[in-house]
Amino acid sequence: MIDRIFGALLTFCVLAGGTAAVASAMIDHDRRAEAARPAPQVVQLPTVEVIAKRPAIALAEPIEPTARQLQ
């Protein structure tokens, strides 16, 4: 009886320890990658205004959302 409880407890501890080790490695890798990466440059592009007419197909028949999903 005690061996079954001990086996389950040991399995749980190994899984929890493995999860903590992987999470710690991922967090450490992210920190090192952030420190090595230079700051990105921000560029602002000029605004663009798009003027167009709708095609006749779009105005002919409205398509129901459910019918569009089934196609």
Say how far residue 66 (Cα) sits from the centre of its chain.
28
Task: Note the pLDDT tens digit of each residue in 7-34.
Answer: 999 999 999 999 999 988 888 776 666 6
pLDDT at 57: 64
Domain ranges of the chain: 1-34
Global pTM?
0.41
pLDDT, tens digit (0-9, with 9 covering 90-100), for 24-65: 888 877 666 666 677 778 899 999 888 887 666 655 555 566
Q: Which of 44, 23, 41, 25 is nearest to 33 (CA)?
A: 25
